[in-house]
Chains A and B, each alone.
Chain A
Amino acid sequence: MPTQTFKLNGKSVTVDTDDDVRLLWVIRDLLGVTGPKYGCGINVCKACTSHINGKAFNPCSVRVCDVKPDDEVTTIEGLADGDELHPMQQAWIDRDVAQCGYCQPGQIMAAVAKVKQCQAEGRDLDEDAIEEIRNICRCGTYNRIREAIKAGAENM
């Protein structure tokens, strides 16, 4: 069986599994890192949103063989700096965003990437930018998410 190697939350990991297994299942089922959630498996709901080399992506739609040994995959578990929460996580707590919480790891990872994208492109983090975020929240927490993104961005 092929051996797959990449970096997950700062550590190099190696697993034996077939090339076409999607990265989400490698992370969740084989490595037991369960922050990224399954919500559709087809790159629609965005519940699995994580980062690859600092950019948002959806591991449900990436084959494990397409990730290289020096690719840095970061899940929600790797966002904080030790006990020090990322400003976006703190904003989420301050605004009491989460309800069931199932979508929230993906929402936070998407929010961080969107803010960085806007900063890099010199765009305002306005309503239009926020409405590019496609993540579903079936509990309907969208309005607090909007407030939290803006608050979190101020400290990024």
Chain B
Amino acid sequence: MPAHRAPTTQRSPDEKAGLGRHVASRRRFLGYLIAAPTLVVAAELTRESLWGPSEASAASIPSGPQTPELYDLLDALRDAARPTANLIRIEVNRDGTVSFALPRSDNGQGIITSTQMIIAEEMGLEVDQVKVTLADARPELLFNQLTGGSSTTFTTYTPIRVAAALAHGQLLKAAAAELGQDVAVLTSRSGVITGASGRSLPFSALTEKAANQVTEQVEVTLKPKEDFRIIGKSQNKTDARAIVTGKKTFATDLQIPDALPTVICRAPDLNGYPEDVDNIDEVRSMPGVTDVEMVGTGVAVRAKTFGQAIDGVNALRVQWAAGTVAGENDESVLAQVKKAELPLAVPAAGGATVEGAFTFYFRSNSSLETNCAIADVRSDRAEVWGPMKNPIAAQAEIAKKVGLPSSAVTVHVTEGGGSFGRKLFFDAALESAEVSKKMGKPVKLMWTRADDSRQGRVHPLATTRIRASVAADSVLSFELRHTSVATEVNPGLGEPISAAAFKTPVIGNLSLSESIFELTQVTPYNFGVSTRLLNEVDMGFNTSSMRNIYSPDVATARELMVDQIAAKMGKDPYEFRMEFFKNDRMRAVLEKVAEEGDWGRSMKKGTAQGLGFHTEYKGVAACLVEIDCRPETVNRRIRQGVTGPRVTKVTYAVDVGLVINPRGIEAQMMGGINDALAMTLTSSLHLDDGHFVEASWDNYFYTRQWNTPPEMNIIVMDSTADEPGGVGEFGVAATCGAIACAYARATGKLPEYFPINHKDPLPFEPYPTVPPIPPSPTNGLETTY
């Protein structure tokens, strides 16, 4: 870890105005030439000389700014990634293409495309000349193979550029020698280097000549931003054609010899486990079934088809042990969370009190691709395939589970069908290895939708309480207390955070989750004494983040209270925010949405506008929504669907720092906005008698076409920043805040819990928990169109 000193220089105006922007000059970087028959380079980052000390300082954090304004989660993840980032390599192939194995996981967020863009930019290539794949687990990368916290581009941007610039420099040198000309007169475009004479050489002809005999360190200068021709321009996803033709391969599409479909029969209770099976042999002889074995989490059935494995599962008669939350329900869990709420201090300053308390129920982060993995475990080695955001931790855990050394376990990262936080964990990979070992055969393990929904990870139930003391023209204090069922933090995410602990004075004594809370949450308004505290209760749930852990809920509560405070002062919600924001970068995005979305236009009774704002990931975002809460809209009928209030229009402005791919950023915001609709209005899990009731998408009402806003306008702000911030989760929080505020204004009621339909009568008949999987219908030919 680099040593961190107190800043000796004045903070730049840019940093005073915004959040943690780094002003970079054309610093020199160090790279490695690797001994190889063709050109191979790696990025070496000796931290101090290249990045400068972190802006955070153990000596002098001023009392005003909150931790994330100086040093946030992205900094922590990047700093943790630094010592090992030198191990990422770029190779120039004999066919002239360039290869890079990205030590990250792509679940649709488009990081393969943006990485291709970054390399193409630095090497003068076209985007499709760069081949980016996902790296297998590489334990030597330590923390640097974790995809989480919207950190990928921020952490890898510079190291990848350094390697690419070095490779390009070596190719130019080799061409200069070959052509007998000075490097300065050469031009390089699309993988062809052309000399003053007009003679040209393709990369393919140069890679062997540019190769190094020995591994050595060299200095590199990066391309100046003004010369960018790819970064900052919209680029479609490079796997689009594979996707629309059905060729993109997900884990369960892989054809691994003899890896037959396998499904686990799971307990009626959350985390219940099997004690005995009454009819194991009977099920073993069912059609298509090859193996049935009891494992830790249930009874595994392997068959020729998934359908037959499911039939086997449903035929099993199992004696189950009680689960980890046996007998509990929403209200009993909420009561325990409320007991753990930290007190709001009595404001010393006086003034009128504005208070609010909000409950956020459990929500499912199940992606459309359910948890899945393929495993082939032998006596001396194991091979596992799956969509994993944290393959190093997976490799270690799998090795432990099957009793092999880590070095005997190969973990292949497949492209995932969505993650949203769930694939930080590798529940299916671990199970698949256990099952494969027990059966002595390769297995293709897939969780059914019911498993994924009922036993899969959830976004925790939480409460947020806020108390503000308000004088005539100012807010004297703003206290926020977030209390939550504990969020399991993946071991791989924990390490960089703990490593960051000694960099900020506040973090030292906090738990891991408290650290993440402290590293990510900012109250962006000048509200006098502002405190934000987290308390968590560990209650035996399987939790994880869902496009962020705390921010969407905290932002919902905060923005609702901001509207309340504004009302108390008799101010317009927009004017109020503009007045109390901490800096102009925040004002710019809000001003943008107000302008583009026509803030303050006259709205019909039962409809309203609402504003939300959020800052995180080195960026700022503002949202303006319009909502329709009129009975004719709320009561629309859709078979097996939920309607309710409709968000009719969303205007979203986001400043994420340096923009790599505007179209990719827009896509991520769009996804986040649709998530926010679900989180605020329609979708939650209900805990009843120790299990979650929802078993499929006709129970769990994620946003559908009939919910999504007919009008959506996303504005990616131009930025002068030198580095990109985070994108993947950034559409959610500001939108949640805006929807909540619009709903409160349209109905005149301040909602007390989310989603707002959580306590409505269930609009479905719950599926039984035994047998665990709803059987497939047979009438599919009656619903053709």
Residues of A in contact with B (beta carbons under 8 Å apart): 17-18, 20-26, 28-30, 32, 34-45, 47, 52, 55-63, 66, 75-77, 79-80, 85, 89, 92-94, 96-105, 108, 113-114, 117, 127, 130-146
**Interchain CB contact under 8 A, A77 and B245:** yes
Is the C-beta of B252 less than 8 angstroms from some C-beta in chain A? yes
Does chain A have a CB within 8 A of B356?
no
Is B781 within 8 A of A39, CB to CB? no
A61 → B minimal CB distance (Å) = 3
- Residue B186 at the chain A interface, CB threshold 8 Å: no
Q: Are A93 and B236 in contact (CB under 8 A)?
A: yes
Contact of B672 with A by CB under 8 A = yes
Residues of B within 8 Å of A135, CB to CB, are: 705
Minimum distance in angstroms from A127 CB to a CB of chain B: 6
Q: Which residues of A contact B784 (CB under 8 A)?
A: 52, 55-57
- Which positions in B face A, CB cutoff 8 Å? 107-110, 236-237, 239-250, 252-253, 255, 261, 287-288, 304-308, 310, 366-370, 415-418, 420, 446, 448-449, 640-641, 663, 667, 670-675, 696-698, 702-706, 708-710, 712, 773-781, 783-785
The answer to whether B246 and A139 touch across the interface, beta carbons within 8 angstroms, is no
**Residue from A52, A55, A101, A134 in contact with B243 in the complex, judged by beta carbons closer than 8 Å:** A101
Q: Is the CB of A44 within 8 A of B237?
A: no
**B777 lies within 8 A of A42 (CB):** yes
The reply to whether A40 and B697 form a contact with Cβ atoms under 8 Å apart is: yes
Contacts of B706 in A (CB 8 A): 131
Given A17-B305, A18-B288, A127-B710, A57 and B781 contact (CB-CB distance below 8 Å) = yes
Q: Bound state CA distance, A49 and B304, in angstroms? A: 22
SS class of chain B's interface: helix, strand, loop or mixed? loop
What A residues does B288 contact at CB under 8 A?
Answer: 17-18, 21
Q: How far is the CB of B423 from chain A (nearest CB, A)?
A: 11
Question: Judging by beta carbons under 8 Å apart, are A98 and B240 in contact?
Answer: yes
Q: Which residues on the B side are within 8 Å of A56 (C-beta)?
A: 784-785
- A25 near B781 with CB under 8 A, answer no
Q: Which of B108, B261, B712 contacts A143 (CB 8 A)?
A: B712
Query: How far apart are A152's CB and chain B's nearest CB, in angstroms?
Result: 11
In the assembled complex, the Cα of A99 lies from the Cα of B640 at a distance in Å of 26
The number of A-B residue pairs with CB atoms under 8 Å apart is 236
Distance of A28 Cα from B444 Cα, bound (Å): 13
CB distance from A42 to the nearest CB of B (A): 5
Residue in A44, A89, A105 whose CB lies within 8 Å of B640: A44
Separation of A146 and B710 alpha carbons in the complex (Å): 9
CB-CB under 8 A from B242, the residues of chain A are: 101
Residues of A within 8 A of B110 (CB): 99
Query: In whole angstroms, how far apart are the Cα atoms of A100 and B367 in the complex?
Result: 10
Q: Contacts A37-B368, A37-B417, A99-B108 known; A136 to B702 CB distance under 8 Å?
A: yes
The chain A residue with its CB closest to the CB of B779 is: A61
Question: Bound complex: CA of A34 vs CA of B641, how far in Å?
Answer: 28
- Find chain B residues with CB under 8 A from A22 CB: 307, 776, 778
Cα–Cα, bound, A101→B777 (Å): 26
Interchain CA distance A24-B671 in the complex, whole Å: 28
A60 to B774, CA, bound (A): 12
- 13 extra interchain contacts, Cβ-Cβ under 8 A, other than A77-B245, A101-B108, A134-B641? A35-B246, A37-B417, A43-B776, A52-B784, A76-B245, A89-B245, A100-B107, A102-B369, A114-B785, A139-B108, A140-B671, A140-B673, A140-B708
Minimal beta-carbon separation of B680 from chain A (angstroms): 14
* Contact partner, B780, options A47, A59, A79, A137, Cβ 8 Å: A59
CA–CA, A134 and B704, complex, Å: 7
- Flag if B704 contacts A136 (CB, 8 Å): yes
Given the contacts A37-B417, A43-B777, A55 and B785 also touching, CB distance less than 8 Å: yes
Query: With A60-B780, A66-B781 known to touch, is A99 a contact of B109 (CB < 8 Å)?
Result: yes
Task: Give the residues in chain A near B243, CB-CB below 8 Å.
Answer: 92, 98, 101, 104-105
In the complex, chain A residues whose CB is within 8 Å of the CB of B775 = 42
Measured between C-beta atoms, what is the minimum distance from B412 to chain A in Å? 17
User: When A52-B781, A100-B367 are in contact, do A92 and B417 touch as well, CB less than 8 Å?
Assistant: no
- Residues in A neighbouring B698, C-beta threshold 8 A: 40, 42, 44
Residue pair B448, A41 in contact (C-beta under 8 Å): yes
Q: Which of A34, A35, A37, A98 has most B Cβ within 10 Å? A: A98
A99 close to B667 (CB less than 8 A): yes
A93 to B775, CA, bound (A): 35
| Chain A residue nearest in CB terms to B708 | A142
* Known contacts A76-B245, A140-B670, A96 near B449 by CB under 8 Å: no
Residues of B contacting A28 in the complex (Cβ-Cβ under 8 angstroms): 253, 306
Say how far B714's CB is from chain A's closest CB, in angstroms.
Answer: 9
Q: Which of A18, A45, A97, A138 has the most CB of B within 10 A?
A: A138
Nearest residue (CB) in B for A47 is B368
Contacts A30-B305, A96-B663, A143-B670 hold; do A101 and B248 have CB atoms under 8 A apart?
yes
Alpha-carbon distance between A36 and B395 when the two chains are bound, in angstroms = 30
Considering the complex, give the chain B residue whose CB is closest to the CB of A39.
Answer: B368
Q: Is the CB of B368 within 8 A of A41?
A: no
> Assuming the A-B contacts A77-B245, A143-B712, are A60 and B674 also in contact, with contact meaning beta carbons closer than 8 angstroms in the complex?
no
Give the Cβ gap from B307 to chain A, nearest Cβ, in Å. 4
What are 17 sample pairs from A and B whose C-beta atoms fall under 8 A apart?
Answer: A22-B307, A30-B305, A34-B250, A35-B245, A42-B696, A42-B777, A55-B784, A76-B244, A85-B241, A96-B237, A98-B237, A98-B240, A98-B243, A100-B367, A100-B418, A142-B703, A144-B667
List 8 A-B pairs, minimum CB-CB distance, nearest first: A35-B246, A100-B108, A140-B674, A102-B417, A61-B780, A101-B243, A99-B108, A76-B246
Cα distance A18–B110 when bound, in Å? 41
Chain A residues contacting B370 (CB-CB under 8 Å) are 38-39
**Cα of A34 to Cα of B696 in the assembled complex, Å:** 22
A137 to B250, CA, bound (A): 16
Query: Which residues on the B side are within 8 Å of A60 (C-beta)?
Result: 776, 780
Bound-state CA distance A66–B709 (Å) is: 39
The one of B109, B663, B780 in contact with A43, judged by C-beta atoms closer than 8 angstroms, is B780
Residues of B within 8 A of A143 (CB): 670, 674, 708-709, 712
Q: Are A96 and B697 touching (Cβ within 8 A)? A: no
Give CA–CA (A59, B63) in the complex, Å. 61
Option from B418, B449, B708 in Cβ contact (under 8 Å) with A41: B449
Residue of A nearest to B446 (CB): A38
Contact of A101 with B417 at beta-carbon distance under 8 Å, contacts A45-B449, A96-B236 already known: yes
Q: Is the CB of A40 within 8 A of B777?
A: no
> Could you say which residues of chain A place their CB within 8 Å of the CB of B448?
41
Assembly CA distance A77 to B292 (angstroms): 34
Q: Are B780 and A141 in contact (CB under 8 A)?
A: no
**Chain A CB within 10 Å — which of B248, B250, B784 has the most?**
B784
Given known A-B contacts A22-B776, A136-B697, A142-B674, A96 and B240 have beta carbons under 8 A apart:
yes
Q: Which residue of chain B has the shortest Cβ distance to A143 in the bound complex?
A: B712
Q: A100-B368, A141-B671 are in contact. Are A34 and B246 (CB under 8 A)?
A: yes
A residues in contact with B253, CB < 8 Å? 28, 34
Contacts A34-B246, A38-B446, A85-B244; A102 near B418 (Cβ below 8 A): yes
Minimal beta-carbon separation of B195 from chain A (angstroms): 37
| B418 A144 Cβ-Cβ under 8 A | no
Neighbouring B residues of A89 by C-beta, 8 Å? 244-245
> B107 to nearest A CB, angstroms?
5
Q: Bound state CA distance, A130 and B269, in angstroms?
A: 39
Please give the distance in Å from A109's CB to the nearest CB on chain B: 10
Please, which residues of chain B bring their CB within 8 A of the CB of A29? Answer: 261, 304-307
The verdict on A25 contacting B307 (CB below 8 Å), with A57-B780, A66-B778 known, is yes
Nearest-neighbour CB distance to chain B for A69, whole angstroms, equals 15
Bound: A56/B782 CA distance, A: 11
Q: Contact: A104 with B306, CB < 8 Å?
A: no
Tell me the nearest residue of chain B to A107, going by C-beta: B244
Set B416, B703, B778: member contacting A140, Cβ < 8 A:
B703
- Given known contacts A57-B780, A66-B778, A100-B416, A30 and B304 CB-to-CB distance under 8 angstroms: yes
The residue of chain B having its C-beta at the shortest distance from the C-beta of A65 within the complex is B778
Contact, CB under 8 Å: B305 / A75: no
- With A and B bound together, what is the CA distance between A105 and B535 in angstroms? 43
Inter-chain contacts of B368 with A (CB < 8 A): 37, 39, 45, 47, 100, 102-103, 136-139
